[in-house]
Structure 1
Amino acid sequence: MRVVFMGTPEFAVPSLQALADAGHEVALVFTRPDAVRGRGKKLVASPVKQKALELGIPVFETTRMTDEAKVAIAKAAPDVMCVVAYGCILPDDVLAMAPLGAVNVHASLLPRWRGAAPIQRSILAGDAETGVSIMRVAHDLDAGAWCAQVSVPVGGKGCMELTAELADAGAKALVDVLPRLSDGTVEWHEQDPAGVTLAAKVRKEEMRLDPAGTVAANALRVQASSDTAPARLVVAGKGVRAMTARVTDEAQIAAGVIEVQKKHVYLGCADGTLELTAVKPDGKKEMPAAAWASGLRGDLTWSRAE
C-alpha cells in the first residue's frame, strides 16, 4: 500500500520501521519541525524525522495542515494515512484525501484514556493493564471507531519501559490491520461513551512526591516519571529526581523523614514507607540511592519540590 506517515516522538518510530519492513511504500513522512532539546540548546530533529531520513523517505515538517501541506499529501497520492503521536490536528478535508482514510495508533484501550498522556495516566491511576488501539482518525479527539486492540499488563514497569513495549505492540497491530483495511474485511467497533476517560497532559506539579500523600500515590508518581514530568522531591534543601522506588514494610519511618539503614534509603509517607533505589540529584548523573545517601548528614527530612 502507498502510505503517508505522520508521527513525531520515539513512540512512532517502530510503526514507521514496521511499515517499511512490511513492504509498504511510505511516500512521505510528516513530522513536527526540529526543536531545541537538551542542555546544548541546539535544534534536534524529531526521532521520526531521523528514522525517515535513514530510510530514504522524504520528510515534510509542519505543526499544522497548511495549504502547502495539503498539496504535498495530494502529490503523494496515498492509499491510507497512518498517524502515530504526530501532535497535529487533522482537519476533515485532510482525512478525506486518502481513499482508505487515516488510521491512528493510540496508546490505550479506548475509550479509556483519550488524549495526550494515556501511558502516564494509566500508571498514575494504578491500572492493571493498558494497551494500544488502532482507530479511525475522526473529527473529535481520539473518538473514532477502533478495529484492533492489544492489551499489555502494567505491573511495575516504568514509563519508558511501558512506552517502548506499547510502541512495538502498536507497530505490529498497525501492519496486521492494513491488509484487512485494503480488502474491506476489517471490523470497526464504535467507542462506548460511558467508558470514556480523558488523559490530559501530565503537569510537573502533579509528579512532586509529597510526604503528606500516601505511599502508593508517591510510588506511582515515580513509576510514571518521565523527562518532561519527573518525580521530584527536596532533601536537605536540594532537589533530587526519584528514578526508581518501591513500597516497603521493612522500615517504619515517620512522614517527612528520610533514613538510611544498611544502604537502604527510606522516605516516610503519610501511611507507609517508600524505598528510593535510584536517584538523579540536580546537576548530577543518575546513581544508586545508597551512593547518593552516603553524602547526607544529620537529621534529615524531605519535602515536596516547589
Structure 2
Amino acid sequence: MKVLFAGTPSVAVPSLDVLIGAGFDVVAVLTRPDAPIGRKRVLTPSPVAARAAELGIAVIKASKIDDDARAAIAAAKPDVAAIVAYGALIPPAGLAIPEHGWINLHFSLLPAWRGAAPVQHAVIHGDEITGASTFLLEEGLDTGPVYGTMTEAILAQDTSSVLLERLSHSGAVLLAQTLTGIGAGMVTGVPQRGEVTLAPKLGLEDGHVDWARPALAINRQIRGVTSEPGAWTMHQGARFKLGPVAPRPDAGDLAPGHLAFEGKSVLVGTGSHPVELGQVQPAGKKAMNAVDWARGLATKEDVVFE
C-alpha cells in the first residue's frame, strides 16, 4: 500500500522510521509548518519534516487541511494515511481521500483518555496501566473503531515524557502491524466499549502545585506535567520550576509549602507527608539540584512556596 504519513513532533518519528523499515511505500509526509524555536526564534522544520527530508520523502506542510493541502494529499495518491500527533483536525473531505482511511496511533487504551494529552492525564490520575491504540479516524474526537491495542505499565518514577518515549516505540510497531493487517484484509475495526474519559490539552496553570494537596497527588501531578507544560510554584513573587519529587513519609511534620533543609535533602510540606525536591529552576537561572540552590539562599529561615 501507498502510505501518507502525518505527524509533527519527535514522538511521531519512530512510527515513520518503523514504517520505512517495514517496507511500506511512504509517498508523502504531512506535517505542521516550520515553527520559531529558541531565544532567537529561528524558523525550524518539525522533527518529522526533518526526518522525512533525510529519507528523501516529499513533505506537505500545512497548519490545516485546506484546499491546497487536500490537493497535495490527493496528488500523492495514498491508499491509507497513518497519523501520529499531527496536531490539526482532518475534515471530512480530507478523511475521504485514502481508500482505507486515516489510521491514528493514539497513546491510550481507548475509550480512556480521548484527547490531546492522554499520557499526561494517565500519570496525573494514577493509572497503573496505559498503552496505545490504532483506530480509524472519524469526525468525532478519537471515537472511531479500534484495530489494535498494546499495553504498557506506568512505573512509579515515570514522567509523562519518559513514558511517552517508550510508547512512541512500542506504538510504532503496533501501527505497522495494523497497516499490514489492513492491507491484507485481515483486520477490521471494533467499536469502542467502556468508560469514556477525556484528556484535554494541559496549560500552564495545570502545573501550578497546591502544597495543601496530599503528597501522592502532588507527586503524580509533577510527573504528569514533566516535561510539558512543566511543574512550578511561587517563591519570592516569581515562578519557580520544579522537577519530579520523592515522597518522604519518614520525615517529620511540615506545614504545606514550608521548606526544611536536612543534610543533603530539601523537603517541602504537603497536605500529608513531606516530599523531597530534586531538580529545581529558580526564575532567571538554569536548572540545578535543589541542594545546590539551597546553598545559595541568604537565609534558610521561613522559606515558603506558594
**TM bucket, shorter chain:** over 0.9
Name the counterpart of 1:205: 205
Distance 2:278 2:91 in 1: 46
Name the counterpart of 1:21: 21
Q: 1:244 touches 1:276 (CA, 8 Å); kept in 2? A: yes
Aligned-partner residue type, residue 274 of structure 2: T
Aligned-partner residue type, residue 31 of structure 1: T
Normalised to the residue count of structure 2, the TM-score between the two structures is 0.95
Aligned-partner residue type, residue 264 of structure 2: K
Name the counterpart of 1:299: 301
Residues 147-195 of structure 1: per-residue CA shift (max 9 Å, x gap): 1111111122112111100111111101111111011111322112x51
Deviation at 1:202, TM superposition (A): 1.0
1:254 aligns with 2:255: yes
SS of 2:152 mapped into structure 1: strand
Distance 2:145 2:200 in 1: 20
Distance 1:298 1:107 in 2: 43
Name the counterpart of 1:38: 38
Name the counterpart of 2:191: 190
Name the counterpart of 1:139: 139
Distance 1:28 1:144 in 2: 24
Q: Gaps spanning 5+ residues in structure 2: where?
A: none
Name the counterpart of 1:166: 167
Distance 2:57 2:188 in 1: 31
Distance 1:280 1:251 in 2: 24
Name the counterpart of 1:281: 282
Q: Which moved more, 1:56-65 or 1:284-293?
A: 284-293
Q: 2:226 touches 2:243 (CA, 8 Å); kept in 1? A: no
Name the counterpart of 2:176: 175
Distance 1:141 1:238 in 2: 37
Aligned-partner residue type, residue 148 of structure 2: A
Aligned-partner residue type, residue 289 of structure 1: A
Give me the CA root mean square deviation.
Answer: 1.4
Q: Which moved more, 1:280-289 or 1:202-211?
A: 280-289
Q: Which moved more, 1:156-165 or 1:91-100?
A: 91-100
Among the aligned pairs, what percent are the same residue? 36
SS of 1:250 mapped into structure 2: coil
Q: 2:131 touches 2:152 (CA, 8 Å); kept in 1? A: yes
Distance 2:287 2:99 in 1: 49
Distance 1:288 1:173 in 2: 38
Distance 1:65 1:236 in 2: 46
Residues 83-140 of structure 1: per-residue CA shift (max 9 Å, x gap): 1111111122222211111100001000000001101111111111111101111111
Q: 2:159 touches 2:227 (CA, 8 Å); kept in 1? A: no
Normalised to the residue count of structure 1, the TM-score between the two structures is 0.95
Distance 1:220 1:243 in 2: 12
Q: 1:236 touches 1:301 (CA, 8 Å); kept in 2? A: no
> Superposition pairs for residues 87-236 of structure 1, below 5 Å?
87-155=87-155, 156-192=157-193, 194-236=194-236
Aligned-partner residue type, residue 191 of structure 1: Q
Name the counterpart of 1:52: 52
Residues 53-88 of structure 1: per-residue CA shift (max 9 Å, x gap): 111111111111111111111111111100111111
